[in-house]
Amino acid sequence: MPVQTFIEKVDLKVIRNIERVGKLHRIREDDERPSNLDVDFKLFEWGQYIELGFGLSTAEEGGSLEISVKVHVIYSNPEELNLSKEDKEIFLSDVVFMQVYPYLREGFSSMAQQLGVGIPTLGVLERGQYRIELDGTESGSF
């Protein structure tokens, strides 16, 4: 089944923040800020409902900085339609992640601002910039 046909048959039910963590212990203003971000993905269910989780985090060892944001997504899939692995990856990357990214971006930037750390604002994400690759356990990497 083509991804476009699949998109027309599923319905986004909810995107919600499920966790925001910010820790700051003795980090100095002149310390270098973390430049790497980790993106996590987990597919919890693919049946009548499609349930997914995404996380965005960074950490710093010496200065004790940790920022983490997690978002939960649910689609209804009343016909319990399935896709090939390749089409799932396209759907998850080009549709789901593009819908979730603004929530991750806002949560992460907001937490960094509240902690007063100089993490750069996350940019606008362009379609195709990231690709989710399923690893057989229904987890994935970017």
Model confidence, pTM: 0.82
Q: Are 88 and 134 in contact (CB under 8 A)?
A: yes
Single out the residue of 131, 110, 132, 130 nearest to residue 121, CA to CA. 110
Average pLDDT over the chain, rounded to whole?
Answer: 83
* Banded model confidence at residue 142, pLDDT cuts 50, 70, 90: very low
| Res 122 pLDDT > 80 | no
| Res 29 pLDDT > 70 | no
> How far apart, in whole angstroms, are the C-alpha atoms of residue 77 and residue 73?
13
Q: Which domain holds residue 44?
A: 3-141
142: exposed, middle or buried (C-beta count within 10 Å: 0-12, 13-18, 19+)? Answer: middle
* Helix residue ranges per DSSP H, the chain: 3-9, 85-91, 97-115
CATH number, domain at 34?
3.10.420.10
Q: What's the total number of domains in the chain? A: 1
